[in-house]
Amino acid sequence: MSIPPIVLSDFSWEAFATLATGLSAVAAATGVAINQMKITRQQLENERLSLRLALFEKRYAFHLLLARYKAATRFQKGVSIQLQRDFVREARQARFLFPAVVGNIVSEIASLGDEYQDLTPEKDASDKQIRQDAIERRKGIRARQDELFKKFDEIADPMIRIDI
């Protein structure tokens, strides 16, 4: 069984108009779909950039707090109780902003800060040996915190950038 050839003279103008209209509608729908896909991609990219910006802002705010904390440990007589509380509170949240290794560093810095604060009464003790031990332990804590500050900077600094 063979298919008879199509003879163009057998097409009516109505059939041609119907076919042309159908093809035009399909082409237009395809164009709209492609355009919609481009718009959706752009919206996803905008959302991704918005989330990156929000993460950057939170990481940067923590970085500023850490810089204040670091300055207080190095250049002031000590960290104020309020700054220590703020830092400990933000350190708990830092584990959600940074990878686990950075969160662990921050947690250790905070716990060392608490330990340092706890040694304040001993540092002022009347017993010379207790006072000397407390001062040495506090020096050790500051040295360890300095190591951790450097480690934080090495690991977290690249994360505190907004490369687009």
pLDDT per residue over 51-104, tens digit each? 988 999 999 999 999 999 988 887 766 778 888 889 989 998 888 888 989 989
Name the pTM for this structure: 0.70
Q: Is the pLDDT of residue 164 over 60?
A: no
Q: Which residues of 28-60 are buried (b: 16+ CB within 10 A; e: fewer)?
A: eeeeeeeeeeeeeeeeeeeeeeeeeeebbebbe
Sketch the domain layout of the chain as residue ranges: 55-159
pLDDT per residue over 94-146, tens digit each? 888 889 899 899 999 999 988 888 877 666 667 888 878 888 888 899 899 99
Please tell me the predicted confidence (pLDDT) of residue 65: 93
Tokens 């009516």 belong to: 12
